[in-house]
């Protein structure tokens, strides 16, 4: 039966509504409030008979638990903070989707905050989550201070996608080095020796790992990396396009790898503008597969990070921590990425 489904009339929208409490249910069922609490929610004992009676009474009067009261009293909460940089980026959206899915299945709620990659916003968000007394937070950190402050206040933290400094928190990472290495090797295998790398940062484990993989693949094949082919840009499609332009104008390259999906947009836009034939004249590959990459012509060769799965892993790990199922030492989960070869990479052009 629906809570308040039997109300005679609907209140005006937003009108203050007196919600039934445990007391009311207790009266209705002819038991004590404590018994109601046990019967409905907590682990304590209640006989099947009482349990049924209480359930019926609760449904009858449209009782809904008050999470605030429960959280306050029991010093716990089923809300989990999720702190990401930008929901409009499919990477973060997929991550959040995976997290949400797993949390929902475990009867937890997701409080999602965007920090736009801004340290100040991130810190504000952390304080808000602290105020909500969430038992755990999943964060794609911008600053090491954020995980730290959360942990210092007794909140479990899982860092997703990257780690900053020695936070000591659990972390779920994609194996960026392995993925980038495999992708680079794929190009080297096609004969490319002058491969441009479009990348925005190497301070975080993410960019650093991808760059390391790029270098490792070269080393494996006794190729020297021409440092001029590592094109630093900023995390923005427009900037990436500009950087791609400069790279193509100033250097001879036969293939380009973009370090993430945003940069790939810029690179592709530039190639489109130049009417470059891909892969005949130039091969293009990207890290971080997102849906549009298989829709463009030719479809892009990419590394799939299994982002949704990454999110699920974050949530699972965090929940296990919260439940105290894990030994104290910090856990590092690595999700293996997967190379997906599509049409945008081909043999090195002759001549």
Contacting a copy of itself within 147-206 (CB under 8 A): 148-149, 151-157, 168-170
- Beta strand pairing status for 136-139 and 156-160? parallel
64-93 positions binding DNA, by CB under 7 A: 65-66, 69-70, 72-75
User: Least distance (Å) from a copy of itself to the CB of residue 181?
Assistant: 27
Three-class secondary structure of residue 3 per DSSP:
coil
Q: CB-wise, 87 or 340, nearer to a copy of itself?
A: 87
Binding range to a copy of itself, per CB under 8 A, among 101-109, 178-186, 200-208, 209-217: 101-109
Burial class (CB in 10 A: 0-12, 13-18, 19+), 35: buried
Is residue 54 within 8 A of residue 39, CB to CB? The reply is yes
Q: How many of the other CB atoms lie within 10 Å of CB of 294?
A: 14
Stretch that binds a copy of itself, among 104-112, 179-187, 226-234, 240-248 (CB under 8 A): 104-112
Residue 42 C-beta: closest distance to DNA, Å: 4
Q: Is 42 in the site for DNA (CB under 7 A)?
A: yes
Per CB under 7 A, contacts with DNA among 152-191 are: none
* Contacts of a copy of itself in 267-296 (CB under 8 A): 268-269, 272, 291-292, 295-296
- Take residue 45 and report the two structure tokens written for it: 């004992």
C-alpha atoms less than 13 angstroms from C-alpha of 243 in its C-beta half-sphere: 28
Binding mask 81-100 for a copy of itself (x = CB under 8 A): -----xxx-x--xx-xx--x
Q: Which does residue 42 touch among a copy of itself, DNA, none (CB within 5 to 8 A, set by kind)? A: DNA
Q: Are 303 and 183 in contact (CB under 8 A)?
A: yes
DSSP label of 121 = H
Q: Is residue 61 part of the contact set for a copy of itself (CB under 8 A)?
A: no
Give the whole-angstrom CA distance, residue 315 versus residue 329.
Answer: 18
Count of residues that bind a copy of itself according to CB under 8 A: 79
Distance, CA of 143 to CA of 79 (rounded, Å): 23
Q: Judged by CB under 7 A, which of 7, 47, 234, 338 binds DNA?
A: 47
Tell me how long the chain is: 351
**Hey, how many other C-beta atoms are within 10 angstroms of the C-beta on 138?**
28
Q: Which residues bind DNA (CB under 7 A)?
A: 19, 21-23, 30-38, 40-42, 44-47, 49-50, 63, 65-66, 69-70, 72-75
């Amino acid at each position: 039966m629906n809570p308040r489904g039997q109300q005679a009339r609907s209140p005006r929208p937003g009108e203050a509504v007196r919600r039934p409490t445990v007391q009311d249910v207790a009266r209705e069922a002819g038991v004590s409030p404590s018994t109601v609490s046990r019967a409905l929610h907590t682990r304590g004992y209640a006989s099947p008979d009482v349990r049924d009676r209480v359930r019926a009474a609760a449904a009858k009067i449209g009782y809904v638990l008050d999470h605030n009261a429960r959280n306050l009293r029991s010093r716990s909460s089923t809300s989990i903070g999720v702190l990401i940089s930008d929901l409009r980026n499919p990477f973060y959206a997929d991550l959040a989707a995976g997290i949400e899915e797993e949390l929902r299945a475990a009867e937890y709620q997701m409080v999602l905050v965007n920090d736009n990659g801004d340290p100040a916003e991130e810190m504000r968000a952390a304080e808000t989550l602290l105020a909500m007394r969430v038992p755990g937070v999943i964060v794609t950190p911008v600053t090491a201070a954020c995980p730290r402050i959360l942990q210092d206040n007794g909140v479990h933290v899982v860092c997703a996608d990257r780690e900053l400094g020695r936070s000591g928190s659990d972390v779920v990472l994609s194996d960026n080095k392995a993925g980038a290495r495999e992708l680079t090797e794929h190009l080297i295998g096609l004969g490319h020796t002058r491969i441009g790398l479009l990348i925005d940062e190497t301070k975080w484990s993410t960019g650093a790992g991808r760059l390391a993989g790029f270098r490792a693949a070269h080393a494996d094949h006794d190729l020297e990396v021409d440092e001029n082919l590592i094109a630093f840009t900023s995390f923005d499609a427009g900037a990436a396009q500009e950087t791609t332009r400069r790279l193509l104008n100033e250097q001879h390259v036969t293939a380009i790898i973009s370090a993430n999906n945003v940069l790939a947009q810029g690179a592709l836009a530039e190639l489109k503008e130049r009417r470059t034939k891909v892969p005949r004249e130039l091969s293009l590959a990207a890290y971080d597969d997102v849906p549009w990459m298989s829709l463009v012509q030719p479809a892009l060769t990419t590394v799939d990070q299994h982002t949704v799965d990454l999110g699920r892993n974050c949530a699972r790990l965090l929940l296990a921590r919260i439940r105290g199922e894990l030994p104290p030492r910090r856990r590092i989960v690595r999700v293996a990425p997967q190379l997906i070869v599509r049409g945008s990479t081909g043999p090195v052009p002759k001549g």
